[in-house]
């Protein structure tokens, strides 16, 4: 027998702009999302496509009712909380709840009626079958 020691190496997911949505309502923006969108003191609103209910988008906003994004102490990632929003989004994205946090990639922005929107994109492997 010849044994080889396997070192534990920390895996990092650098370069992916995404939002993790926990079952209880925590929304966490990745460090890449913070870097790309300069999330310091920003507020966000979410939108659902009425014609395609599984399609969700977010937009940065100054509206009073928008959700305030807070930077984590590491200043590299950010979060906000909304259990109501998480309960609306997770089932409609057909997400397998046994997998823990839903990880949605932040898609390419587009402009509609003067407002910039970012789509939430799911990997097929994360969907229920």
For residues 8-21, average pLDDT: 71
Most trustworthy range by pLDDT among 50-54, 74-78, 125-129: 50-54
Residue 40: count other Cβ atoms within 10 Å of its Cβ.
11
Domain positions in the chain are 18-126
For residues 24-35, average pLDDT: 91
- Give the pLDDT of residue 61: 92
- Give the pLDDT of residue 103: 86
- Give the pLDDT of residue 9: 58
| pLDDT tens digits along 43-58 | 999 999 999 888 899 9
Tokens of 31: 């460090």
pTM for this predicted structure: 0.79
Residue 128 pLDDT class (50, 70, 90 cuts): very low
């Amino acid at each position: 027998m010849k044994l080889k020691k396997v070192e534990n190496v920390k895996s990092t997911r650098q370069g992916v702009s995404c939002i993790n949505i926990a079952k209880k309502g925590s929304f966490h923006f990745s460090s890449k999302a913070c870097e790309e969108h300069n999330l310091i003191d920003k507020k966000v609103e979410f939108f659902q496509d009425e014609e395609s209910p599984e399609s969700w988008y977010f937009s940065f906003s100054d509206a009073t009712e928008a959700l305030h994004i807070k930077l984590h102490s590491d200043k590299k990632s950010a979060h906000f909380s909304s259990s109501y929003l998480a309960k609306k989004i997770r089932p409609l994205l057909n997400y397998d709840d046994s997998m823990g946090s839903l990880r949605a990639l932040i898609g390419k922005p587009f402009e509609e009626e003067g407002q910039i929107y970012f789509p939430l994109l799911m990997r097929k492997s994360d969907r229920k079958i």
